[in-house]
Structure 1
């Protein structure tokens, strides 16, 4: 269901509920990749929605709502993590953890461990792009908006990540996992 920015601006309660229902669990899962702290992520997601609500009349309608929300959450979490560590975090200094969270049989568990090791060899930014593209189904345009980079950089990061993963025999297991997620195989 498409969210109406005009209805949000006019304080349509149902539209606000729809916005939250459509995106809260996605944002929580995405936030946990950064913070690994349930309370912090839940609070930050809630603060993001409150901030948007408070500023709804002065904000421009985003081209991609999910990307807009992800970018807002990402920036807030990175700022919170900077406060917690009392050190300067550069854009590439954050940790983005991508765990395969499928419950699987013992035979498949070995495959998931291989995939996890494969993903751990990627940079934080590559893991984040792979997660958004292949596990959350975002377009390159949405990913570019989320990460505040250009579309070509997204394509380059994906290409480099895939090239890196192809060096490992476990890449075939990664492909099977992605196919299963998207096509129910």
Structure 2
């Protein structure tokens, strides 16, 4: 359930590894920028430009965690620069304008949302029974209710839930965005 991203290959501009980086980060970074801009195409342009600038400079990273932080921060900053340079702060809704002073909160919230999205991806990769149990648990069902719904024993529910949580913890541990929580 991890990306398999090898940071030393990213630092050495290995094209295959950069494809993995692109596949892993592109959509979440676009969603992040789009939340700030309310413009999907512009968000894609900013993310592409950010990734191209990174490819063309000599920046290296100690770990995937540092790379993740750098990418989100760079997209965030490039989005704000774009808004400033194109004087689009005037076009931002009043509620958004009020929140401009709270960019750090917006940044943290967007990264947390992405982490939740990735955890749901992790849930989708669980074996069927564990996925069903953990999904019902997230919905607020008790162990007894889950056992009744799935027509399994309470001990099977507990065992499935424990194993699902263990797998999700490993996923979260291997996830570079966990540093933002």
Question: What is the TM-score of this pair, normalised by structure 2?
Answer: 0.51
Match of residue 109 from structure 2: 130
Alpha-carbon separation, structure 1, partners of 2:9 and 2:95: 36
Asked whether the 8 Å contact 2:11–2:59 carries over to 1, the reply is: no
Alpha-carbon separation, structure 1, partners of 2:39 and 2:23: 21
Alpha-carbon separation, structure 1, partners of 2:105 and 2:88: 26
Structure of higher RCO (CA pairs closer than 8 Å, 6+ residues apart): 2
Q: Secondary structure at the match of 2:115?
A: coil
Match of residue 43 from structure 2: 41
Alpha-carbon separation, structure 2, partners of 1:79 and 1:94: 20
Against the structure 1 CA distance between its residues 5 and 125, is the aligned structure 2 distance closer, same or farther, given a 3 Å change threshold?
Answer: closer
Structure 1 position 54 matched with structure 2 position 33 = no
Against the structure 1 CA distance between its residues 73 and 10, is the aligned structure 2 distance closer, same or farther, given a 3 Å change threshold?
Answer: same
Q: Secondary structure at the match of 2:77?
A: helix
Asked whether the 8 Å contact 1:48–1:73 carries over to 2, the reply is: yes
Alpha-carbon separation, structure 2, partners of 1:95 and 1:76: 17
The structure richer in helix per residue is 2
TM-fit CA distance, 1:68: 1.2
TM-fit CA distance, 1:3: 2.2
If you compute each CA radius of gyration, which structure gives the higher value, 1 or 2? Answer: 2
Q: Tell me, which stretches of 5 or more residues in structure 2 are unaligned?
A: 117-133, 140-181
Match of residue 143 from structure 2: none
Asked whether the 8 Å contact 1:35–1:77 carries over to 2, the reply is: yes
Moved over 4 A (4+): none
Q: Secondary structure at the match of 1:136?
A: helix
Alpha-carbon separation, structure 2, partners of 1:76 and 1:62: 23
Question: What is the TM-score of this pair, normalised by structure 1?
Answer: 0.50
Asked whether the 8 Å contact 1:62–1:68 carries over to 2, the reply is: no
RMSD between aligned residues = 3.5
